Structure 1
Amino acid sequence: MMELKVATCFALFLCIFKTVHAEPNCSNGFGATGPNVICIAGAEDYVLRKGLVSDNDLTTAIVLKGCRITSIEEGALGALPALEDIDLSQNSLQALTRMLDKTPNLLKLNLSNNRIESLQLNIFDALTKLKSLDLSNNVILGRNIQSRVFEELHHIEFLDLSGNFMTGTPENLLQALQSIKTLKLSRCNLDEVPKFATHPNLNSMTRLTLSANLITALHNKLFINSEKLESIEFDDNLIEFIQEDVFKSLKNIKTISLQHNKIKDLPESLFKSLPKLGNINLSHNLIEYIPANAFRHTGLKNLNLADNKFTYLQDNFCLELRNSGVRLKKFYFNQNPWQCACLNDILIEVKKMGIHYNGAKYIGQEPVCVTTKEFNCQRQPNYNEEYKDLYNDIIG
Structure 2
Amino acid sequence: MVHLLYVATLLFWTLQNNEGKLHNVTCPELNLCACAVRPSGLDVRCKGVGNVEAIPEELSKLRGQLVSGVQIVNTELRTISAFYFETMTIAKLLVQHCSLESMDDKAFSGMGPMRLLDLSDNNLTTIPSALRALPSLSKLRLSGNKITVLDLGLAHLSASLSQLFMDRNLIERIDENAFRNFTRLSLVDLTTNKIRAIPRSLFRDMHTLDVIRLKDNHIEDANPVLKLRTVRVLYLSKNNITSVAGLPSPTSSSLRVLFLDRNPIARISAVLYYNLEKLSVQECDVASLGVYAFADCAHLTELTLSRNRISFIPGTAFHKESPLKQLVATDNSISTLEGTFNATRRLQIINLSFNKIRDITNAFATLKELKTLNLNGNLMEFVADMTFGTNGNLKNLDLARNKIKGLGKHAFHGLVNLDKLLLDGNRLLVLNGSLSFMPRLRHLFIEHNQLTTIEESDFLSTPQLRFIRANGNNISDVRGAFIHLKHLKSIQLEDNRLQHVHRLSFFSSLASLEVIALKGNPLFCDCQSTWLLSIVNNGTPVRNPKCTSPARLHGLTFLNVSEDMLRESPEDCDSRCSCTCQPDKQYGKSTYVRCSNASLSATPKTFPSDSRLIDLSGNNLRTLDGTLIDTVPHVETLLLSRNSLSTLSAIDVPKSLKRLDLRNNRFTRFPTDAVIKLNLTALWLSGNKWICDCESYDFKLWTQSNELVIKDAAFTICAEGSNPHLYGKPLVTVELRDFCLLETSKIIFTVPVFVLLIIILSAAMIYLKRERQIKVWLFSRGLLCAQDNDVDKDKLFDVFLSFSSKDFDWAYANLIPRLEHEGFRVCTYDRNFKGGFLLQDIIQEAVSCSCRTLLLLTRNFVESDWCRWEFRVVHRNALHERINRLVVVVTEDIPDNVDKELLAYMRATSYLRWGERHFWDKLKYSLPRRDGRRRTSTLPPDSMPLSIIPSGLIPHVST
Q: Same-fold call, TM > 0.5?
A: yes
Match of 1:69 in 2: 124
Deviations 1:277-311 (A, max 9, x none): 11001111101100366243531001111100012
User: Aligned runs of 1:169-188 on 2, under 5 Å?
Assistant: 169=222, 171-172=223-224, 175=227, 177-188=228-239
- Which residue of 2 is the match for residue 361 of structure 1? 424
1:50 aligns with: 105
State the alpha-carbon separation in 2 of the partners of residues 17 and 53 from structure 1. 17
Letter in 1 for 2:196: L
User: Given residue 352 of structure 1, which amino acid in structure 2 is its aligned partner?
Assistant: L
- CA distance change for structure 1 residues 358 and 90 in 2, over 3 Å: closer, same or farther? farther
TM-aligned CA deviation for residue 198 of structure 1: 8.3
CA 1:40–1:172: 2 relative to 1, 3 Å: closer
The CA distance in 2 between the partners of 1:49 and 1:241, in whole Å, is 56
1:1-396 to structure 2, matched below 5 A, reads 20-23=76-79, 35-42=91-98, 44=99, 46-54=101-109, 56-73=111-128, 75-103=129-157, 104-142=159-197, 145-169=198-222, 171-172=223-224, 175=227, 177-193=228-244, 203-220=253-270, 222-223=271-272, 226-271=273-318, 273-291=320-338, 294-314=341-361, 316-318=362-364, 320-322=365-367, 326-341=368-383, 343=404, 344-345=407-408, 348-349=411-412, 352-355=415-418, 359=422, 361=424, 363-367=445-449
- Whether the 8 Å contact between 1:208 and 1:231 is mirrored in structure 2 is yes
Q: Is the 8 A contact 2:85 2:110 kept in 1?
A: no
Q: CA deviation at 1:265?
A: 1.8
Cα distance in 2 for partners of 1:347, 1:16 equals: 75
**Cα distance in 2 between the residues matched to 1:202 and 1:265:** 31
AA aligned to 2:258 is: L
Moved more, 301-310 or 90-99: 90-99
The secondary structure found in structure 1 opposite 2:373 is strand
| Counterpart-to-counterpart distance in 1, 2:139 and 2:413 | 49
CA contact (8 A) 1:272 1:295 kept: no
- 1:298-352 CA-to-partner distances (Å, cap 9, x unmatched) read 31001111100012112x444x124xxx311100011112214555359932773
Counterpart amino acid of residue 291 in structure 1: E
Q: How far is the alpha carbon of 1:17 from its aligned partner?
A: 9.6
Q: Radius of gyration: which is bigger?
A: 2
Going from structure 1 to structure 2, the CA distance change for 1:165 and 1:293 (only over 3 Å counts) comes to: closer
Q: Does the residue aligned with 1:269 lie in a helix, a strand or coil? A: helix
For each residue in 1:59-80, what CA deviation from the matched residue of structure 2 results, as whole angstroms up to 9, or x when unmatched? 111111112212234x321132
Letter aligned with residue 116 of structure 2: A
TM-score (norm 1): 0.75
- Higher-RCO chain (CA-CA 8 Å, sequence separation at least 6): 1
| Greater mean deviation of Cα atoms: 202-211 or 284-293 | 284-293
Q: CA shift at 1:89, angstroms?
A: 0.7
Determine helix, strand or coil for the equivalent of 2:318.
coil
CA distance in 1, matches of 2:281, 2:409: 28
Give the C-alpha shift of residue 254 in structure 1.
Answer: 0.8
Q: Name the one with the larger helix percent.
A: 2
- Return the alpha-carbon distance in structure 1 between the equivalents of residues 210 and 291 of structure 2: 30
Aligned residue number for residue 380 of structure 1: none
Could you tell which deviates more after superposition, 348-357 or 157-166?
A: 348-357
Q: Call closer, same or farther: CA 1:83–1:187 in 2, change over 3 Å.
A: same
Q: Which piece of structure 1 moves more, 356-365 or 93-102? A: 356-365
1:303 aligns to what SS in structure 2? Answer: strand
Stretch moving more, 78-87 or 158-167: 78-87
SS of residue in 2 equivalent to 1:247: coil
Q: What residue in structure 1 maps to residue 589 of structure 2?
A: none
Using the TM superposition, give the Cα deviation of residue 273 of structure 1 relative to its aligned residue in structure 2, in angstroms.
2.8
Residues 201 and 321 (structure 1), Cα distance of their counterparts in 2 relative to 1, 3 Å cut: closer
Q: Is the 8 A contact 2:242 2:266 kept in 1?
A: yes
Counterpart residue type for residue 46 of structure 1: E
SS at structure 2 position matched to 1:37: strand
Checking the alignment, whether the CA contact within 8 Å between 2:263 and 2:284 is kept in structure 1 is yes
CA contact (8 A) 1:76 1:99 kept: no
Change (3 A) 1:293 1:266: closer
Instruction: In structure 2, give the amino acid aligned to 1:89.
Output: S
Aligned-partner Cα distance in 1 for 2:213–2:244: 16
8 Å contact kept, 2:324–2:346:
yes
AA matched with 2:448: E
**Superposition deviation, residue 122 in structure 1:** 1.3
Distance 1:111 1:336 in 2: 42
Could you tell me whether the CA contact under 8 Å between 1:212 and 1:236 is conserved in 2?
yes
1:21-63 superposed Cα distances (whole Å, 9 cap, x missing partner): 32379989x99xx912111232x45024323345535211111
For residue 187 of structure 1, what is the amino acid of its counterpart? K
**Equivalent-residue separation in structure 2 for 1:201 and 1:81 (angstroms):** 38
How far off its partner does 1:18 sit?
7.8
Distance in 2 of aligned mates of 1:281 and 1:27:
51
Note the alpha carbon deviations across 1:330-379, whole angstroms, 9 max, x for none: 000111122145553599327734345562736443359xxxxxxxxxxx
Q: CA deviation at 1:247?
A: 1.1
Kindly, what percent of the aligned residue pairs are identical? 20
Q: How far apart in 1 are the matches of 2:85 and 2:349? A: 47
C-alpha contact (below 8 Å) 2:326/2:348 kept by paired residues: yes
Secondary structure at the aligned position of 2:415 is classed as helix
Equivalent-residue separation in structure 2 for 1:346 and 1:266 (angstroms): 30
Other structure's SS at 1:354 match: coil
Q: Distance in 1 between matches of 2:334 and 2:85?
A: 56
SS of 2:357's partner is coil
1: CA distance, partners of 2:164 / 2:248:
24
Task: Say if 1:133 and 1:160, in contact at 8 Å, map to a contact too.
Answer: yes
Aligned with 2:412: secondary structure?
Answer: helix
Cα distance in 2, alignment partners of residues 126 and 182 from structure 1: 21
Contact preservation (8 Å) 1:274, 1:299: no
Contact 1:48 1:72 in 2 (8 A): no
Cα separation, partners in 2 of 1:21 and 1:60, compared to 1, 3 Å = closer
Q: Is the 8 A contact 2:324 2:344 kept in 1?
A: no
Judge conservation of contact 2:77–2:100 (CA < 8 Å) in 1: no
Alignment-mate amino acid for residue 412 of structure 2: E
> Aligned partners of 1:287, 1:155: CA distance in 2, in Å?
41
SS in 2 for 1:191: coil
The count of corresponding residues between Structure 1 and Structure 2 is 337
* Distance in structure 2 (CA, Å) of the matches to 1:353 and 1:24: 66
SS in 1 for 2:255: coil
